[in-house]
Structure formats: structure tokens, C-alpha cells
Structure 1
Amino acid sequence: MSDGLDYDVVVIGSGIAGSTLALCLAKQGVRTLVVEKGRHPHFVIGESTVPSTSYSFEYLNELTDVPELAAAYSYPGLKKAGCTGWPKQHFWFGWNDPGEPVTPDKELCFYALLPPRGPDFHANRADLDHFFVKLFPKYEVTYHDKTAVTAFESDETSARVTIKPENGDERTVTAAYVVDCTGHASFLAKKFGMRKADPELSTNSRSLFGHFKNVKFLDDILPANDEVGFLRDGGTIHHIFKGGWIWGIRFDSGVMSVGITLDRDVWPLDESITAEEELRTIIDRYPTVKAALGEMVPIRPIIRTGRVHGGTDRIQFSVNAIHGERFILSPHSAGFIDPLFSTGILLTGAFLNRFVPLAAKAAKDGDWGMERFRPLETVFMREIEMVDKVVGGMFRSWRYGHATFTHYWRLWLYVGSAMYLTRVAVPQEDAAGPGVFAANIPSVERLVRRMHEIIFDPAFEAESGTKALKATMDEVWDASHGPGMMDWPLDPDRTLCVKFLATGETRLAQLHMLKWWRSLVASNPTVAAKVQVGRVARWILDNRKRKHTDQREIEESRKGDGVFAKAYTIIENIRLGAIKGPFTDNPALLWNTDADAAAGVEVTAKAYDVHATENDPVARAKQPGKSA
């Protein structure tokens, strides 16, 4: 530990990155202080997980033994933590043309993890972040909210952080290391001029978003789609149109997170209209979107971006470096691309698995030198490049229509599958191993760069360019991927639904997945050298074991608080045909109902307040008349 210093680590910010980092560090014996400018609970987006996110937090639990992290990697775990959420069984995409409803040939779907490994979930972040903060006393994390960081200095021996409580005197604490988890505010990045004036990213978007009630289920508007197999709202909704996309992230409270992200070159900001006027104008252009969102009512003010470096409405930012003497930036403090594909929490989970073991060892060795953390910067820069090329290329594809979008979308399928399946097989703490969006997998990196090069070619033309995208993806999808991966028409005439990761569905799907995984690893020797076959075997066996353990927990739950059983009931109810419509406001899809109360199902977390700092020995020691 760091003798003579107040703390080993000071974490600035207590969102999902700062709170989970603090819990994991403290469990490893690292003396940790968290400083939060605001107060929980508070509104924040970043509400959808993907399979690799769930796996990252599951792995982090195994690495650090913080079992409450289960709230961050499964819908039943989220509900046991008392948080509002929703089971996510798939990613649904619908192509919208002005004045035309979405038709089956304009629908795309990619299954997420299904039970027993899944499902992934949507989380009301105000609930989830607060849940983790409420664990601070249990893990002996010192916490100050409503406290600003006003200054930072460091040298080769320590870091000094000056903090100012809202109703208290300014004081300085010392630590061996500081982690900036302040997100867009990026306190240390701004202080040291690390933020790039030009992000040098191909994605160029802005956004407006909020939480709403009275949002209709798509299956109350469109005919049921057997190919999807679930209610469309049983996953994350992506309405795509030329120049932008609309997300729909449903919660089991009846509220929905809705946001529009726009290509700034196609949809430049018009400051003469309000955020709500712009929102309504876009919604009214597309019949299916209007039918679902036309009567929605905001439950909080709509936010339109314009707060990032210099007040620009562009949401992308990046840095020249993520660490310096005695400090490091968490991913969301170092860079951001776009909400598309939910990469924010994904990058956070990957960072935590790498940083926590390094920090624990640094605390033990008393060595917090920059070289120890340099590999984290190297992999993060590659990850941001990969995310930007996939997301930026997706935005560009929308300019040319549904067919072009479909064949660039196939790149995301490939990258997402490669990312998940290779990361299952290697230690997550290894910064040189497979990363977010398949960074550090050479063959996949080459594919991403090639597809990005095609779509951004100044001479790109819709028909010939789409053929080039299709040919490139056809070359990498081979028969080992299973049926439906190669025979995609140039201009799809049916719903295309990919169930490649749906290992809980059929043994055949799992066999196809493993065959493809072996082919991918064999073509990347640097990845093959890191693979631990035992991890893959444990992952397969664990899938089978979870079926039985989940069933036992369902039965036990029915005898107790009912939470786990209720969560599984909602999971089953979003399967197509499980319940009859209408689905909007259907009690079978809501958590807090009169039936729940009658059955004794817990619907809120048993919370306790952690805003006080009376348990802070450093603060007490520095107050006259008090001792540690």
C-alpha cells in the first residue's frame, strides 16, 4: 500500500465506471476515495448491454469477487438488485423511407445471448449506478458527493487532489494514483490539453434524447414477424433512415428511452427550432415511427447535444493520450463515438478488466510508473479506431439506401461475433489480447479497414459500391457459419435474422459457432497463442449447468420474494406468441403491478443513504477535535 498517503487511488466520478472500479479496487485491498460532483440518483444514458458487455462484467466478478456485479450482466441479476430494466433478446433494425411503413423485407435482426447465458438487458442507469454507489459502505469505499475537484497536481511520488464540498471548505488529499471517470466533462483531459480540437474520426453525429411514456409496441402496429421470433420491442429498437437513426430502449416500468442521432452533414443543426420541435418533425416523416412515438410524452426535459468541447453539437471526441504522471482516463473520459451498438459500457467493462489487476499490483509493489499502464492506452486507441470505422461506415451507408446499409451491417455481425467468441477464450486482463470490436485480431482489423475504405471512397456509387461491400463480406463468411450467412441477396426481399450467438437455442447453432471460432483463431496466430482451451470448455459446460441452476432458483424464488421467477416470466412473455396483444401497457410485460403486490414480489431496492461522509477516517483526522 502507499505509505504516508491518504489513499491509494482517488476516483473522480461515480457513474458505472467510477462506482464499479471503486468496488473492485477496494475488494483487492486498495484504499479508494470516490469524489462525485453531483448526487445519486441522476439521469444518464448508456442503457443497453451487448453480449460482450455482459461477459466483461461477469469476468470482472470472477476476477475480483464482487458478486453484486451480477446486476450488470443479466436481467434477473438486475431485478434482484431492485433496478428498473428490460430483457434484451435481440437487436432489431427497421429501414424507414419517408411516407412508407416498415415492411418485412426492410427488417434486420441479430439475436443477443438467450437463456441460460442471457438475456442481455436494458437498465435505467439512474437505478443501476445508484445501486453500485450504495455498496460503498460494505466495501469500505470512502465517498464524497456534492463535491467538486478544483485542482490536481502530481509528481513522481504522489498525486494531490483538491476537493471542495458544496457546503464545506476546500482541502487537499494525497494519493498514489487518480482515475478520471467524469465522462464528457473529462476533468484531467481538459486540464492537460489532451482533448483533440479535431477528433479525427469518420463518425460525425449529433443527438437529442430523453425518457418518455406512451410509446407503443411495434407489434401493436406492424404484423407479427415469425422470423424475428420475439416481440420487436423484446430487444433494442433501431429505426434507420437516410442520415440518422432512432433508438428505442424499453423498460419494464412502461417508460422508454428514445433518442435520435443524426449525421451532421445530412441533418445540420437548426437552432431556430427547439429540441422537441426537431424531434417531432423527424418522427412525422416516417409512418411506422410516428405510429409508435407520435403520442409519446417526455417525463423529463429533452436533451440536445451541444456541451462537448467548445459547445459544438458534435458528440464525438478523442484524446492524444489516456494517461499521464499518476493518472489515467477511463474510456468515456478519453473518447466517444456514438450510441450505435452500445459501445460506451462495453469499452468500460474491457478497461476495468485490464486496469484493476494492474492497479492492485501497483499498490502492492508501490510502483505506479507510466510504463505499467501504457498497454491500456495502446489497446484503447485501436478499439476507438475500430468502433469509429464500423459506426462511421454505418452512418455513411445510410446515405445510399437499405441495400447498402444491409451489407455494411454484416460487418458489425462479423465483428461482434469475433469479439465475443475470442474474448471468451483468452484472459480479459491481457491488453494485448482481443479487444472491443475485435481490436488486436489482425484479420478482422484488415476487414474493418477494407470495408471502411470502400464506403468512404469518393467515387462510391450505390449499385457498384454495394456489390463491392457484399463481395467483401461474402468472402469472409463461409459455410462454417451455418445457414443464412452467405445467401444474402444484393437487395434483400425478406427479413434477415441472424441467430449465430443464440447458443441456448440449438446444439446445431453451438456447433456452427465453435467451427467458425476455430477457423478464426487458426487464421490469427497472435490470438491462437493466447487461447486457453480450458476457458472455452468451462464456458460450454457453464451454459449447460445454468439451465439447471436457473430452474432451481426460479422454484426457490416462488417460495420467497418472487423476483427471480418474475424476471423469467417477463423473459418468456416477450417471445412471439407467449401472450396475446395488445402489448402496450400489458400487465404481463410490466414489473410493478397490483398482481405483483398481491404475490409479494419485491419491486424496489432495499436502499440506504450513502451521502454522508462520517465514515471517512481521512476527513475526520483533518477536522479539529476528531480522530481517525
Structure 2
Amino acid sequence: MRYDVIIIGSGFSGSILARILASRGLSILLIDRARHPRFVIGESSTPIADLLLRRIGLQYGFDDLVSMSTYDGWQQRFPKLACGLKRGFSYFDHRPVNTTRRESVLGERSLLVAASPSDESSDTHWYRKDVDMYHFGMAAEAGVDCLESVQVIDFHSEDTNGPATVTLNNGTKATGEFVVDASGAGTVTARFAKQSAITEQLTTRTCATFAHYDNVQPFTTEFNSIHSDQRASVPFDSDNAAQHHLIDGGWVWMLRMNNGITSVGVTLSAGLTHESEQEARRKCYELLDQRLDAYPSLHHILKYAQRVEPCDDMICLPRLQRLYDPVISQNCVMTPTTAAMIDPLHSTGIAHALSGVHRIAELILGQKAHDAESLEQYRSSVVEEAKLIDQLVNIAYGSMRSFRRFTAATMIYFAAAINCEEAIIDGEVPDYLWMCGDTEFRNVVNQCQSLLFGDQPDDVVIDSIRSLIQPFNHVGLMDDTLHNRYAYTATKTSL
């Protein structure tokens, strides 16, 4: 079998890319070792992700993608396709263990940051089991040849403009003028090309345990009850968010879907040695298995929760981070989220994946897929974005000892994200997302890291960071009068 493009991996990014290319007359083979529907995480969208999804939909005439770029559009068009309402990001400090501490002042142990001005224009959590299956089906409808439950057993690519060959375990051998590896953690083409990881260039070291649960109770109600007010409901319901719960050594995520499912995961710093990583992994599993019983308010909302998926056990992963050169050869590239994985802390995964869909589609359709300069730009974009995300995430983990320092660390990320959102709204998708192509901003990040990792008092550090990010702070971040309640950071409006 001979194709214009072979795509390995039928998650949403592989399927959307396949659909785009097929809609423009190319012959596409989309293959996956699993079968839809299947349990997947990587669920929390952001304004950058939704702006990219909308742009892709408008550019290629896929109005369903435009509908999916806001919560209201999704509900109007796909009322039976599960997702979650995501108004922004919420954070709560649960330390020390075995205590339930009230805030002495608003925002002392909590932070809410809006990413959209209303429920209607809100971002979403993607219930990937359903969402990925939908996009896979749309690729098939577009004329993509789709093969499930098949495994790549060999991949051969000369570093020339000639075709690449993929051999499957069902005996099929397919050749493609270009191959896109969207296999995620499988990193299929890197393995067969014997390309070594460059993960040592990353500084974040975390592991995670996660699953989907039913009957997780609202944390907003819990926090409001502790304080006898509505502080977790303003400027939006903190449950309608990527909810972060800080615990000793890491944090817990909760993402609530509109089908009653809540994605819950524990992420902990893994340390520098194999032994410390194994211990962190064991602790991750134990914490979630015991429903966070060392943290009373979290245990209260989780103690009657029932695991829905996976049905046999929770997923427990060793170090999450990986980084590969995304350009395997002149006729093969990895998507960003195959080449790189950092951490779920800032919800960057869907945006990074969709940036790859946008860029790779333009490479192939613009007949630049074999152009050395274009491939080098793609490589630089993916690797530099991954390194900046890694730095921002590592800064946040390194600042968790103090909730005030951690809050300041998140503001550096929000400044990067909001400036990137504004650039996308104003014009073309930048060559580098999250301001990572801006030398001045990168210098600011480095200075902020030195401050946060240093031993100066919190007040001094926070004042210095406020001053450093001021040129990039267009929405009033780090305004003490708001008491960690940011209603007006949203660049996203009703679309």
C-alpha cells in the first residue's frame, strides 16, 4: 500500500491532522495499536488550545471544530459528547497534613484565575474516550484509511526525500511520502530509528497516579462550608476549573465532566535517583488509593467516590517527562506531544498538540515537508516550547514550599499564556507559543527563577517578580487588592 502520508496514532491530534490532509485530496493511512473508545487522559483545554482549534476549524472548513472551541458551542452542537466546563484555574493549599485550616484572610490558601469571562465562552475539559473516538470517526468519514488494533513492528526511513516504510503486525507493509508519529508515549519512530531521548535537558522530575471516578463531591461546597461564605464561588465556581490541590511534595488534580465523571490524579516530585522516583511513585499510588485520607477536606469529597476507569486498577506512571528531537528524518516528524511530555500542572498538552496539527498541516500542504529550513523551524519550535514549559513547571514545583511563592510562580506562566493568546487573536499563530521566542521574556523567567529559588523573604521576592513581569502584565496579575481572585485575566470572548 502506498500513501501520501502515514500517521501513527489516532488520538485527537493524529485524527484531526489526518482529516485535514484527506480533505485536501491526499491519501492518508491512520494506524493505532489500540481501539476506540479507550481510556486516555490529557483532558484540560485552555484559551490557547481553543483559539488554535477554532483557527484550524475556520481555515479548513470544519465547523464542528469551531463549535468545540467554546463550552456553549460544544453543548449546542454536541449535547451527548461528554466534556467539562472549564472557567479557569483554581488552587487550594491543604498543608500541613491532618489539618483543616481556615484562611485568616481571603486568598491566603486559595487562588482562582479566570480564563474566560462567561460559561458560554468557557474552555472545556475533554472526555477523551468520547472525544478521540469522535475525531477518529470524522477522519474515517473524510476518506482516511483507518486501521485499529495493529502494531508497528518495523519503520524504515532514509534521510532523503524518498518514501518511508511502515510494517505492521498483520503483515501489511505501507509506504508513505511522509510519516507523522502521533503515538504519544509510544514514540514509535524514535525507537525504530534508534534516536535517543534528550530528556536530560529537562529539569522537572515528577510521577503520577490517576483514574476516573464517579461520585466525587464538590470541593467548592466543602471550602465554602469551612469558611461559612462563598469564597470558592467567586469569580467562578472553583469546581468548574482545572482544580489544583497542593499537598506535601506535589498536588492533586480534579477535572469534572458533565457526565458525572471526575478525572483525579496525584502528581509528586520524584527526586533525582531511581530509589527516590520509586518511593514517590509508591506514595502517589498510596495517596490516591486511600482517597487522600491525610488531607481531611479532600478525603471528605473522595471517600465515597468509586473508580470507573480503568476498571482493574489506577494508572501509576514513573517519571512523566520525556523529550526527543521531533524531526526523525526529512520525511518523518513527531507531533509535539509525542516528542515532549512535561507535566499536567499548567494544562499545556492540548494546546501543544494542536499547534503540531496546525504546523504539520501547513508543512505538508505547503509542500515544505522536505524543506530543511522549515523542518528546522518545526524542531526549534517544539523543543524550545517544551523547554520553557519545563522551566515554568519546575519553578512552580520549586516554589511550593510557600503558597505565596507558588502563586507568584503561576503568574509567570499566566503572563506567558495571556500574551500568547493576544498574539493569536491579533494575527498569525506565532512561531513560538508561550512567549518562548521572546528573549526579554526568557530573561525575566530566569531572573524570577533565581528569586523564587533563593532565600530572600516572600515579600521581597513577590515584589521583585511583580516588577519583573510588569512589561508583560496587561491584565492586572499580582494585584494584592484582588486577594487572589482574578476575574478579568481572560482574553477569550464569546466567539
Same fold (TM over 0.5): yes
User: Structure 1 counterpart of 2:88, which letter?
Assistant: H
Q: Is the 8 A contact 1:454 1:465 kept in 2?
A: no
| Pairing 1:321-360 to 2, within 5 Å after superposition | 321-360=326-365
- Determine the structure 2 residue equivalent to 1:448: 445
- Determine the structure 1 residue equivalent to 2:17: 21
Shift of 1:270: 3.4
User: Structure 2 counterpart of 1:42, which letter?
Assistant: R
Change (3 A) 1:210 1:272: closer
The C-alpha deviation readout for 1:117-153, integer Å capped at 9, x for no partner, is 7210111101000001111332111111111111111
> Are 2:147 and 1:136 equivalent residues in the alignment?
no
- Determine the structure 2 residue equivalent to 1:438: 435
- Determine the structure 2 residue equivalent to 1:539: none
- Structure 1 SS opposite 2:287: helix
User: Structure 2 counterpart of 1:477, which letter?
Assistant: Q
The C-alpha deviation readout for 1:43-87, integer Å capped at 9, x for no partner, is 000111000000011111122222222354222343423311111
| Pairing 1:414-493 to 2, within 5 Å after superposition | 414-428=415-429, 433=430, 435-456=432-453, 460-461=454-455, 463-464=456-457, 467-477=460-470, 481=474, 485-488=477-480
> Are 2:55 and 1:44 equivalent residues in the alignment?
no
The one of 84, 94, 98 aligned to 1:86: 84
Change (3 A) 1:260 1:173: same
Structure 2 CA distance for aligned equivalents of residues 128 and 225 of structure 1: 33
> Are 2:243 and 1:245 equivalent residues in the alignment?
no
> Are 2:96 and 1:100 equivalent residues in the alignment?
no
Identity, % of aligned pairs?
23
| Pairing 1:33-432 to 2, within 5 Å after superposition | 33-70=29-66, 72-79=68-75, 80-81=77-78, 82-97=80-95, 98=97, 99-101=99-101, 103=103, 104=106, 105-115=108-118, 118-155=121-158, 156=160, 157-165=162-170, 170-196=171-197, 198-223=199-224, 224-225=230-231, 228-265=234-271, 268-270=277-279, 276-281=285-290, 283-301=292-310, 302-306=313-317, 313-362=318-367, 368-398=370-400, 400-428=401-429
- Structure 2 SS opposite 1:199: helix
- Determine the structure 2 residue equivalent to 1:497: 485
- Structure 2 SS opposite 1:207: strand
Structure 2 CA distance for aligned equivalents of residues 205 and 11 of structure 1: 29
Structure 2 CA distance for aligned equivalents of residues 320 and 199 of structure 1: 12
The C-alpha deviation readout for 1:414-451, integer Å capped at 9, x for no partner, is 112111112222312xxxx3532222123222222222
Shift of 1:26: 1.1
Structure 2 CA distance for aligned equivalents of residues 479 and 27 of structure 1: 39
> Matched residue pairs, number?
476
The C-alpha deviation readout for 1:456-502, integer Å capped at 9, x for no partner, is 4xxx22x43662343132343279845x545438xxxx841223333
User: Structure 1 counterpart of 2:490, which letter?
Assistant: A
User: Structure 2 counterpart of 1:45, which letter?
Assistant: I
User: Structure 2 counterpart of 1:196, which letter?
Assistant: A
In the alignment, structure 1 segments of 5+ residues that lack a partner are: 307-312, 505-542, 547-628
Moved more, 229-238 or 34-43: 229-238
Q: Is the 8 A contact 2:197 2:324 kept in 1?
A: yes
Q: Is the 8 A contact 2:385 2:433 kept in 1?
A: yes
- Determine the structure 2 residue equivalent to 1:518: none
Structure 2 CA distance for aligned equivalents of residues 299 and 380 of structure 1: 35
Change (3 A) 1:443 1:424: farther
Q: Is the 8 A contact 1:407 1:470 kept in 2?
A: no
Structure 2 CA distance for aligned equivalents of residues 248 and 101 of structure 1: 20
User: Structure 1 counterpart of 2:360, which letter?
Assistant: F
Shift of 1:199: 2.9
- Structure 1 SS opposite 2:292: helix
Structure 2 CA distance for aligned equivalents of residues 196 and 272 of structure 1: 22
- Determine the structure 2 residue equivalent to 1:9: 5
Change (3 A) 1:501 1:403: closer
Q: Is the 8 A contact 1:92 1:110 kept in 2?
A: yes
| Pairing 1:549-560 to 2, within 5 Å after superposition | none
Q: Is the 8 A contact 1:212 1:257 kept in 2?
A: yes
Structure 2 CA distance for aligned equivalents of residues 145 and 272 of structure 1: 32
Structure 1 CA distance for aligned equivalents of residues 479 and 66 of structure 2: 39
- Structure 1 SS opposite 2:357: helix
User: Structure 2 counterpart of 1:32, which letter?
Assistant: I
Of structures 1 and 2, the larger Rg is shown by 1
CA root-mean-square deviation = 2.6
Structure 2 CA distance for aligned equivalents of residues 449 and 397 of structure 1: 14
The C-alpha deviation readout for 1:226-247, integer Å capped at 9, x for no partner, is 7723222121211013320100
Moved more, 465-474 or 47-56: 465-474
- Structure 2 SS opposite 1:109: strand
Q: Is the 8 A contact 2:291 2:303 kept in 1?
A: no
Q: Is the 8 A contact 1:27 1:65 kept in 2?
A: no
Structure 1 CA distance for aligned equivalents of residues 128 and 269 of structure 2: 26
The C-alpha deviation readout for 1:101-128, integer Å capped at 9, x for no partner, is 4634211011012348721011110100
Normalized against structure 2, the TM-score is what?
0.89
Q: Is the 8 A contact 2:114 2:235 kept in 1?
A: no
The C-alpha deviation readout for 1:399-420, integer Å capped at 9, x for no partner, is x221211221221221121111
Q: Is the 8 A contact 2:412 2:469 kept in 1?
A: no
Q: Is the 8 A contact 2:270 2:281 kept in 1?
A: no
- Determine the structure 2 residue equivalent to 1:591: none
User: Structure 1 counterpart of 2:124, which letter?
Assistant: F
Change (3 A) 1:7 1:106: same
Q: Is the 8 A contact 1:12 1:18 kept in 2?
A: yes
Structure 2 CA distance for aligned equivalents of residues 272 and 455 of structure 1: 26
Structure 1 CA distance for aligned equivalents of residues 332 and 19 of structure 2: 18
User: Structure 2 counterpart of 1:394, which letter?
Assistant: A
The C-alpha deviation readout for 1:239-293, integer Å capped at 9, x for no partner, is 0133201000001111100001101139753399686533245712222212222
- Structure 2 SS opposite 1:146: coil
Change (3 A) 1:148 1:467: same
Change (3 A) 1:503 1:353: closer
- Structure 2 SS opposite 1:424: helix
User: Structure 2 counterpart of 1:444, which letter?
Assistant: F
Q: Is the 8 A contact 1:326 1:369 kept in 2?
A: no
Q: Is the 8 A contact 2:270 2:280 kept in 1?
A: no
Moved more, 141-150 or 156-165: 156-165
- Structure 1 SS opposite 2:374: helix
Structure 2 CA distance for aligned equivalents of residues 205 and 273 of structure 1: 12
Normalized against structure 1, the TM-score is what?
0.71
Runs of 4+ displaced beyond 6 Å: none
Change (3 A) 1:452 1:189: farther
